[in-house]
A and B are shown apart, each in its own frame.
Chain A
Amino acid sequence: MRILLDSFTKTFGDVTVIKDMNLDIKSGEMLALLGPSGCGKSTTLFAICGIHGMDGGRLLFGDKDVTSLPSQKRNVGVVFQNYALYPHMNVWENIAFPLKIQKRSKAVIEKEVQAMAELVQIEELLDRKPVQLSGGQQQRVALARALVRKPDILLLDEPLANLDAKLRLEMRSEIRRIQQQTGITAVLVTHDQVEAMSMCDRIAIMNGGKIVQLSAPEEMYRNPSSDFVAGFLGNPPIAFLEGVIKDSHCHLHGGETRVALNGHAQKVSDGQKIKLGIRPEFFRPEFDLKVKGKISFIEAHGRENLYDVVLDNGDILRSIQNHDAQYQLGQEVTWGICQDNILAFDGEGERL
């Protein structure tokens, strides 16, 4: 079901946490709300499910205005960060609880719970108590409980934050599989960009209570609208160089290096300060725009190595290369930047 937030505003006391947010989530889509801590992701999520009232704006599910509908009537399934399983009930009772509230018949409950347990693969755990489950298993139970009454919308608040790295990987594809299998519209709150990029159809990246960009993961990675987005997405992260425009070229601070501004030349004027973003995969020996520097840090990633290179002017560039390239710490290198893939931002951080 389509979700539409129309100039949503939320205040706590006299602090406005979210102001005039517009967000249109398509039916059947999985959308990530991505952003740093405290940017208002959970607040947005809780407004959608009705835990928080809205201080302004409208919320539509499909064509229906649900702005002032209580949580109980919204038919939204929520998975909380700490799962919030009912500790005094066993797994079966936990999953059956929403159906019992709806006063469904015993046979129906039995059947639906069984079907859910199969979907999330916990059939053999049904009579355990939550404390007897591992984190990943609790996660699955929470998912089953949220899905059992066939909600129109599934909301997940940092569902993987409490899991260890391996389990996180597993549950990532698991949640995505269940979402696609049920075709449910889902919103995933996360501050982990890898999670957002790997699980979701689209990402809404938030900062300070605003959505700064809303696009598909690929598009967002290649075409960030601001330096904030560019810096948030990508691991290892992008490196920024500062420079000044002269003769339609960008001169890096304190160095001789000039970078041609393909296609952006008309948007800038001489003397303007700009920022260039260079992703680690576009700074390697084989590219043509050479810069000189010294390797200040080497991080082995197994298949690849990550190098930090300090330029003459003190700026740092990162490069990711095959691990068989033998470079030493402190070695002077002259590597190239791939000019076509430089991301240029103006003084305010807006993309040029």
Chain B
Amino acid sequence: MKSRNFSSLPIIILLALVSLPLVTMYVFLFVDTISDAPAGSLIPTSFTLEHWRFLWEEPKVGETSIWPVTLNTFIFAATTSSIVMTVSLMAGYALSRLNMPFRRFMLAGLITLHAFPTITLIIAIFLILQLLGLYNTLLGVIIVKTALELPFGIWIMKGFYDTVPWEIEMAGVQDGASRFTVWWKLVLPQVQPGLVALGVFSFLSAWSEFILPQVLSPSGSGQVLSTYLNSLILDDTRPDFNMFKSVGLFYAMPVIFIYLTFQKKLMNIYGGGSKG
């Protein structure tokens, strides 16, 4: 929207100054992955795809290929976000509409859990997972991540449900629809923007999760991209910085892509949510 009340030029200049370093970093992140530069110089001298070789090269003994790891990450993020969406969708409705016992208590609990610094739980979680035999598995990480994401998701969805007028449901019931049809056909379409936003957020949150997989599934088949990148960097035998950048870019690409696609919908979560 254009506003003629004041000049937007100073703001644009300020923004440009602040974001210039960031943009430069991104540009070099990209440029470095497809070029070589002499040591100590920033200016690339030759084009190469060598830094992306991890995508097609057979892994050497003792190394893992990036593809199963990517699949793991995808499974991890997709499962987490589907479970968070499903549970929040139902729990949010119950908390917003149904007159159930301990409703206040549960709401207070949600807030507390949401605000709780989850990292302090990590030792306990570690012990529990080990007890259950889920330590060092992807399933264990999924369960923990989902549980930690849920309070936020339920709270957001409750906020969205709260904005749907009570009369709309009553009108649906009067029109002869069952409670379930009312929820499915009349209420759901109105919280759908919130649901999409929540899905994207929890997907991205799981996609970029590092601490949980690192602590709960440090070795073996449960590796995800964040831990893969970490072990790559820690591995002193192959100090190829441009390849680290390539892996990093590979890891970040879905995030950028998703953000660009869902940009508008993501704004919703701040518009509709967080209403007590």
Given A101-B175, A101-B181, A102-B176, A88:B170 Cβ within 8 A:
no
Among A75-83, A193-201, A291-299, the one that faces the other chain is A75-83
Q: Which residues of A contact B178 (CB under 8 A)?
A: 72
CB-based contact A84/B170 at 8 Å:
yes
Max count, chain A CB within 10 A of own CB: residue among B170, B189, B190:
B170
CB-based contact B190/A84 at 8 Å:
no
Q: Specify which of B165, B171, B186, B190 is in contact with A78 (CB 8 Å cutoff).
A: B171
Q: A49-B174, A78-B170 are in contact. List 9 more A-B contacts (CB 8 A).
A: A51-B173, A51-B174, A72-B178, A80-B170, A86-B168, A86-B186, A87-B190, A97-B175, A146-B174
Q: Specify which of B167, B176, B177, B186 is in contact with A80 (CB 8 Å cutoff).
A: B167
Number of interface residues of B (CB under 8 A): 16
Max count, chain A CB within 10 A of own CB: residue among B171, B173, B174:
B174
Closest to A80 in B: B167
Q: Which residues of B contact A102 (CB under 8 A)?
A: 176
A-B contact count (CB 8 A): 51
B176-193 near A? 1/0 per residue, CB < 8 Å: 111001000010011000
- A71 at the binding interface (Cβ < 8 Å): yes
Can you list 17 A-B pairs, Cβ within 8 angstroms, ordered by A?
A: A51-B174, A76-B174, A78-B171, A78-B174, A81-B167, A84-B168, A84-B170, A84-B171, A86-B171, A86-B172, A87-B168, A88-B189, A97-B172, A98-B176, A145-B175, A149-B175, A149-B176
Complex interface residues of chain B between 148 and 175 (CB less than 8 A to chain A): 165, 167-168, 170-175
* Interface size grouping (class) on chain A: 20 to 34
Q: Which residues of B contact A87 (CB under 8 A)?
A: 168, 190
Max count, chain A CB within 10 A of own CB: residue among B170, B175, B181:
B175
Given A51-B170, A101-B181, A84:B176 Cβ within 8 A:
no
A144-158 near B? 1/0 per residue, CB < 8 Å: 011001000000000
CB-based contact A101/B189 at 8 Å:
no
